[in-house]
Chain A
């Protein structure tokens, strides 16, 4: 029971041809098989958003997705945002506004912000809060994170 399946995926624009067991989550595939450890494991049940990645343009909690389900998909992790030595404007905004404290929620927070701004380039305060509601931060009190999102909105205009 549970033999391996072949999947072909793109992670951060690089193609992978893999054999995976059906019980391998996308989170574990990314972290342990492919080494994208920027994707964090928090609650492991979809509540905290630390494991957020972008699959075909949509944010998902990778702990609640099986690797076999994403055959053919294009995935973006936090490692896929920078261009050479340049941080992505959203990453830079998080640095500049002090939105990073312990850093554990940061990859998920930044990827959700990326999906938000790809979908709604000039979101309202309400839209930002609604979109980021599934990413928990226990350090910042969210104020600096909202600042970072607002800086990023200006930078990306």
Chain B
């Protein structure tokens, strides 16, 4: 690693001031992505601003939906009984991320801000129509997660802004959800394809009221399969319709070929996982 300065501000104002005052700073949350980047010299900050000294930005609050502080660890999300009870797809995504050692450090905010198209939290939260709170010297603003990611490892967060909170709407609890992550091994790997599906249906008649389908690792950012969602909404979830929706989702995926999988394999996976996910929800 290149030498750098280390700052640990005690509140959000000081952290934003430190971002403005220092040359080439990086924000440090759990560090499980950042430190690897620094060791391989793909990122070379001159100053690290550690956010762990700021009170009140780690923790899970339930009040008409969840408000999760950006510095909440993935492990805290995984073991939260309230999250497991009300929005289990989020627990599922949390438990598939890294290892216990990583989950004890990695944070939900860090997972979003790192901007990986394969980020587990990003994919599942995108399906939940989340909003995020971003702090700057002008105060706080709220942004929909659908406008958050702008490209691989890129987000809308400005140079002098800090993600402080993730807001999951109360309505999410009405949905049944799944999180499917496909890869050659279960632990310590990034998914070849990640899929989160939230479905609100009349499970007797099979009528789909609303569905959200998010795809990870198959485009420059996590994306919603809007065409597939439109095909299913208001319809009876019959096998041929599910098949059509899965094909639509596959056509919406724009994956790349890399060492994990080819683009074609990823597209095929999207198709089979979307169908499998919907069937899993219907069968549960």
Query: Are these two chains actual partners, yes or no?
Result: yes
Name the A residues within 8 Å of B84 (CB-CB): none
Contact of B31 among A52, A66, A135 (CB under 8 A): A66
**A105 lies within 8 A of chain B by Cβ:** no
**A64 lies within 8 A of chain B by Cβ:** yes
A59 to B100, CA, bound (A): 7
A115 to B6, CA, bound (A): 30
A1-B46, A46-B36 known; A66 vs B100 contact (CB < 8 Å): no
Contact B36 A64 (CB under 8 A): yes
| Contacts of A1-27 to chain B: CB distance below 8 A | 1-3, 5, 21-23, 25
Per-position binary interface string of chain A over residues 20-46, scored 1 when its CB falls under 8 Å from any chain B CB and 0 otherwise: 011101000000000000000000111
Contact B6 A61 (CB under 8 A): no
- In the complex, identify which listed stretch (A80-88, A96-104, A126-134, A146-154) lies at the interface while the others stay far away: A126-134
- In the complex, identify which listed stretch (B101-109, B166-174, B243-251, B261-269) lies at the interface while the others stay far away: B101-109
Q: How far is the CB of A39 from chain B (nearest CB, A)?
A: 13
Contact of B6 among A52, A68, A112 (CB under 8 A): A68
A69 to B152, CA, bound (A): 28
A1-B3, A22-B4 known; A112 vs B100 contact (CB < 8 Å): yes
A131 to B79, CA, bound (A): 12
Contact B4 A65 (CB under 8 A): no
**B17 lies within 8 A of chain A by Cβ:** no
Contact B100 A134 (CB under 8 A): yes
Name the B residues within 8 Å of A61 (CB-CB): 99, 101-102, 105
Contact of A134 among B39, B52, B95, B101 (CB under 8 A): B101
**B1 lies within 8 A of chain A by Cβ:** yes
Contact A45 B36 (CB under 8 A): yes
Contact A22 B31 (CB under 8 A): no
Name the B residues within 8 Å of A107 (CB-CB): none
Total residue contacts A-B, CB cutoff 8 A: 88
**B161 lies within 8 A of chain A by Cβ:** no
Closest chain A residue, CB of each to CB of B105? A60
Name the A residues within 8 Å of B82 (CB-CB): none
Name the B residues within 8 Å of A63 (CB-CB): 35
Contact A49 B5 (CB under 8 A): no
**B9 lies within 8 A of chain A by Cβ:** no
Q: How far is the CB of A87 from chain B (nearest CB, A)?
A: 23
Q: How far is the CB of B114 from chain A (nearest CB, A)?
A: 14
Contact A47 B5 (CB under 8 A): no
Contact of A133 among B2, B100, B104 (CB under 8 A): B100
Chain B residues at the A interface, C-beta cutoff of 8 Å: 1-6, 8, 28, 31-32, 35-36, 39, 46, 48, 50, 52, 75, 95, 98-102, 104-105, 186-188
Chain A residues at the B interface, C-beta cutoff of 8 Å: 1-3, 5, 21-23, 25, 44-47, 49, 52, 58-61, 63-66, 68-69, 112, 115, 130-131, 133-136
